[in-house]
Amino acid sequence: MKFHINRENPRQRIVVPNPAKKLSGLDNETELELHALNGAIVIAKAEMTAMDVVSMFWSLTGITVSLLASLAHACGTCDGCGYCDHLCDTQTVSLPEVILEAAGLPLGSKLAAEVDNNGNIMVCLADHDYDLSDVPPDMLALVRSTGICIRALEEHLMNGGIIYGGNDGDVDDF
């Protein structure tokens, strides 16, 4: 079950609702472990039995499948156009720090390459924050193996639009 926590002020403390603690079986635990992940926080028992680990693993797998389903819903299925094969083989553009500094670009800038009418390659600052180069290779392989359209995924990464969220099913608001 999901719980939606509304915070008017981002500095406001996050409080785990009592029904969530009860459903998770953490309501009477005195020692907990907090895992700060990229985009998520997982709270678990500090000490777990084998069955606790199996249960937690299965629950996290369910979340993973749900997130993958969100990608599939947003991106659709691959139509065999070959675009994904081209994108997945593309290397990122990188330049030595000295050249970035000379161009006045911050270190770590996302770059794009374009070819002009004379065949000259021009490197410029990309107009997006994320693309397929930001997806770990193993995850990209997993996404490809499920038949999700890589071209659509690239578009969603580049435009940064929301593809998950809202009250989509079994959610309680707090």
**For residue 117, is it within any domain?**
yes
Of residues 115 and 157, the one with the higher pLDDT is 157
Token representation of residue 141: 């392989």
Chain segment 4-56, per-residue pLDDT in tens: 777 788 888 888 888 999 999 999 999 999 999 998 999 999 999 999 999 99
**For residue 71, is it within any domain?**
no
**For residue 17, is it within any domain?**
no
**For residue 25, is it within any domain?**
no
**For residue 31, is it within any domain?**
no
- How would DSSP label each residue in 37-56? ETTEEEEEESS--HHHHHHH
Of residues 65 and 168, the one with the higher pLDDT is 65
pTM: 0.74
Domain residue limits at 96: 78-160
**For residue 66, is it within any domain?**
no
Q: What is the mean pLDDT of residues 148-173?
A: 79
Is 147 in contact with 77 (CB distance < 8 Å)? Answer: yes
pLDDT of residue 5: 79
Count of domains forming the chain: 1
**For residue 174, is it within any domain?**
no
Chain segment 92-141, per-residue pLDDT in tens: 677 888 888 888 888 878 888 888 899 888 888 888 889 888 899 899 98
pLDDT of residue 174: 44
Residue type, 90: T
Residues 174 and 164: their CA atoms lie apart, in Å, by 19
